[in-house]
């Protein structure tokens, strides 16, 4: 009895002492509960206050993550969550993505006319960002599963925000079905890892040592099953089929969030997990599977985007191709690939929100639905056309924009890893990445081609709000700065990664 009481006391002390590592998550949870409570009131003044409270919660989480110091001496939480430099930087990106989503939502006409569920919409954004933070901090397989499901549940409901629209309901249904399938497969794979290692703490030395002694074929099967769930979150092949329908049916701010937040969190989880398989001699089959998946994701994303006629679906498959580039970067073992992957994720945050803000402006103000509807809009509104060109060229990976630096860093690391290991798979991935950048230019350039060289735009008298112009500049400026001074961001990332 005394032993049980002592164990319970030690557990409670560990929970209390580790709570400091969860300060950003506790802030987000408190603001989530506050929004849910205030949404019960019918007062229009309170309803108008909800998005600003959401911004306050996200800015509070962002501030404590940038300043740091809240987790000194309390970095671990019951071997479930780890508040290290990687998780802290990821949390900064997630908070920024949430803030950008709210800013886009305040401009969105569909959400402006939303009569019911507006309070739940903003509360779910906080819930999703909270889940993303937990994904980045998770070092326990079961905790990873719970965090992913938290993000998934919020994502399913956000997809159905415009539930009066048929395509939104169809997209939400497909999203739920694919999510349930991938979650079941992933959980089954995690059970294999627990049986093999006797532990769920996948970043521990004991877990890695147990993997070295396991049967190779069984280990490969377990890894493939677990990666199925991870690939679903980043929209990598073959778990990418939900992306075009969800991008087509969800509100534009939600689409922008889906193209960044869950993808970034999934990459962070994979980055932690894949470190167990860094030895090509011990795990050749797992690395071969990851390489083939990265190549398939690149091919499917880029070539399928060529045939799209709507900008939403084009950008959906574009997002799939970026997942492929990130997977390629994660295979550059023996190099500082964490730096290049985090740099690419940061650049992707600004590129995606910029291009989806442009698309939201095009849909809400000019009624654009097909690529042909862009005809002449760039000539009628040069500022918007030039901003769109910047975002699309950066997504392609061309200078003088930060998208070029992101791809260059990843390609450099892959080449360095090839020279160290002489693994032919890395050479194939490098060649495919370079060649498919040319394919990406072909489908990205279709939008500027219509903007500046096709048709006569009829809505010349429409005025673009100043808030849109300022937000476009906000997203475009870092893409220019980080091309000329990438070391500013790389030095900060490197400093944070040194935090144990």
pLDDT (tens digit, 9 = 90+) per residue, 89-114?
Answer: 999 999 999 999 999 999 988 887 77
> For residue 376, how many other CB atoms are within 10 A of its CB?
19
| Assigned domain for 387 exists | yes
**pTM for this prediction:** 0.93
Give the pLDDT score at 474: 94
Cα–Cα dist 343/347, whole Å: 6
Distance CA 198, CA 66 (A): 37
Check residue 95 and give its pLDDT: 95
pLDDT, position 3 = 67
Q: Which residues pair with residue 306 across a beta bridge?
A: none
Got the DSSP string for 23-77? Answer: HHHHHHHHHHHHHHHHTTS--HHHHHHHHHHHHHHHHHHHHHHHH--TTTT--EE
Asked, for residue 439, whether it belongs to a domain, the answer is yes
Q: What is the mean pLDDT of residues 284-306?
A: 92
pLDDT given at position 316:
93
In this predicted structure, what is the pLDDT of residue 169?
A: 85
Give domain status of residue 253, yes or no: no
Mean predicted confidence (pLDDT) in 462-472: 87
Provide the residue range defining the domain that includes 295. 278-500
| Distance separating alpha carbons of residues 87 and 143, to the nearest angstrom | 14
Q: What is the pLDDT of residues 416-456, one digit of tens each?
A: 999 988 888 999 999 999 999 989 999 999 999 988 887 76
Closest by CA position to 332, among listed 343, 323, 341: 341
| Number of domains forming the structure of the chain | 1
Does residue 133 form part of some domain? no
Encode pLDDT of 377-389 as tens digits.
Answer: 888 889 999 999 9
Give a yes or no: residue 288 inside a domain: yes
Q: Which regions of 312-453 does DSSP assign to beta strands (E)?
A: none
CB 413 within 8 A of CB 277: no
Residue 287 lies in a domain: yes
* Helix and strand counts by DSSP (H, E) for the chain: 23, 2
Is 359 a member of any domain?
A: yes
User: Is the CB of residue 417 less than 8 Å from the CB of residue 423?
Assistant: yes
Higher-confidence position of 227 and 116? 227
In a domain, 369, yes or no: yes
User: Strand, coil or helix: what is 201?
Assistant: strand
Name every residue whose Cβ is closer than 8 Å to that of residue 220 and which is 6 or more positions away in sequence: 283, 285, 286, 289
Residue 296 pLDDT > 90: yes
């Amino acid at each position: 009895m005394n032993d049980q009481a002592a164990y319970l006391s030690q557990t409670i002390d560990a929970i209390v002492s580790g709570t400091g590592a969860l300060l950003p998550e506790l802030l987000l949870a408190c603001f989530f509960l506050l929004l849910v409570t205030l949404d019960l009131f019918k007062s229009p003044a309170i309803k108008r206050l909800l998005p600003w409270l959401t911004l306050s919660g996200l800015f509070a989480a962002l501030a404590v993550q940038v300043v740091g110091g809240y987790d000194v001496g309390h970095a671990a939480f019951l071997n479930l969550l780890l508040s290290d430099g990687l998780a802290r930087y990821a949390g900064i990106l997630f908070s920024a993505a949430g803030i950008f989503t709210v800013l886009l939502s305040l401009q969105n006409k569909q959400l402006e006319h939303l009569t019911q569920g507006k309070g739940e919409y903003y509360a779910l954004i906080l819930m999703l960002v909270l889940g993303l933070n937990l994904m980045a901090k998770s070092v326990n397989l079961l905790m990873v599963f719970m965090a992913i499901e938290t993000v998934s549940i919020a994502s399913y409901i956000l997809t159905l925000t415009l539930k009066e629209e048929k395509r939104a309901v169809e997209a939400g249904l497909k999203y739920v079905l694919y999510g349930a399938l991938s979650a079941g497969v992933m959980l089954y794979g995690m059970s294999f890892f627990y049986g093999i290692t006797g532990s769920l703490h996948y970043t521990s030395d004991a877990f890695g040592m147990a993997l070295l002694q396991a049967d190779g074929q069984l280990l490969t099967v377990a890894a493939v099953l677990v990666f199925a769930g991870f690939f679903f979150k980043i929209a990598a092949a073959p778990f990418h089929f939900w992306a075009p329908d969800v991008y087509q049916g969800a509100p534009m701010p939600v689409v922008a969030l889906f193209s960044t937040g869950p993808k970034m969190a999934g990459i962070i989880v994979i980055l932690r997990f894949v470190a167990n398989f860094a030895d090509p001699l011990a795990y050749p089959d797992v690395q071969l599977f990851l390489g083939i998946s990265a190549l398939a994701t690149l091919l499917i994303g880029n070539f399928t985007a060529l045939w799209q006629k709507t900008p939403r679906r084009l950008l959906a498959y574009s997002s799939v191709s970026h997942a492929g580039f990130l997977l390629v970067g994660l295979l550059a073992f023996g190099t500082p690939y964490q730096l290049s992957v985090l740099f690419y994720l940061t650049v992707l945050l600004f590129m995606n929100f910029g291009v989806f803000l442009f698309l939201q402006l095009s849909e809400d103000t000019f009624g654009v639905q097909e690529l042909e509807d862009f005809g002449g809009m760039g000539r009628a509104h040069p500022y918007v056309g030039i901003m769109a060109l910047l975002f699309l060229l950066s997504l392609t990976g061309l200078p003088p924009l930060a998208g070029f630096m992101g791809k260059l860093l990843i390609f450099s690391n892959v080449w360095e890893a090839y020279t160290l290991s002489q693994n032919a798979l890395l050479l194939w991935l490098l060649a495919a990445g370079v060649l498919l950048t040319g394919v990406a230019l072909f489908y990205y350039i279709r939008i500027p081609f219509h903007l500046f060289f096709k048709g006569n735009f009829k809505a010349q008298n429409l005025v673009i709000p100043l808030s849109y112009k300022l937000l476009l500049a906000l997203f475009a400026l870092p893409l220019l700065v980080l091309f000329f001074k990438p070391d500013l961001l790389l030095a900060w990332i490197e400093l944070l990664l040194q935090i144990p």
